[in-house]
Amino acid sequence: MNDSPDTHPITDPATRRMAEVAATEFDGASGDGIARAVALGDLTVARIEVHDTTSAPGIVGQRLTEALNAALAAARVGSRATFLSIPGLDPALRAMLAGDADVEVGQGESPVDPTSLDRDFTGTDGEVHVTVAGRTHEVRSVHLPDLSGGTLALVPRAANRALAAAQTGQDGATPLEEKTDDVLAALDEKMSAIESQLDGVEDTLNALARDLGL
């Protein structure tokens, strides 16, 4: 069965609006415009752009740090304001977003030890390292070994890994998007194996039909 979004559309207006906000893009740029970042309403990094590849990687890393913080700050403010305006929003969630209630831990989740957030967390992809503050989720630094297109393409994933670690207080935490991608990749591999097996069964049945003169 194909459980695609078209098969099971979100019917609840509040839930649908929350999903839309989570996918909304928010832009941020460094002060000099060298670097630009796009964050989503779910406070993850979608992509980055660098308009100067002649400067030293350290300088560009600083500009990317500015751009990422600007984009994430815009996402926090924009998504929070939109969430609070959604009619029918769960009262507990509304109170949490408004700052009138503590964050409650969901069923099956472990509470985050506040002391575990009193440090920085680093996310890595290849040789790209992004460091994020545990409590504020502010990007502290972006380390780039070079400014090749392949290296710059690793920045969003490294940033999201750092953000996931800062949000959970656990080094090496996997962002939800990566978990989803891994599950889909495994499912695709299994489906391919099943299709190969079915092809073999079909060949066997065709050969049997020929032998029987059918």
More confident residue, 25 or 103: 25
Q: How confident is the model at residue 103 (pLDDT cuts 50, 70, 90)?
A: very low
Residue 3 domain-assigned? no
- State the total domains in the chain: 2
Cβ atoms < 10 Å from Cβ of 31: 10
How confident is the model over 167-212, as pLDDT tens digits?
989 898 888 777 554 444 455 556 656 666 666 667 777 777 777 7
200 and 124 assigned to the same domain = no
Listed range (35-44, 105-114, 165-174) with the worst mean pLDDT: 105-114
The one-character DSSP state at 105 is P
pLDDT at 3: 44
Range of the domain at 192: 181-214
Q: Is the pLDDT of residue 84 over 70?
A: yes
Nearest CA-CA partner of 64 in 72, 127, 172: 72
Q: What angle do CA 36, 48, 41 make, to 5 degrees?
A: 90
CATH of the domain at 151: 3.30.1310.10
Residue 2 domain-assigned? no
Which tokens hold the place of 6? 């078209």
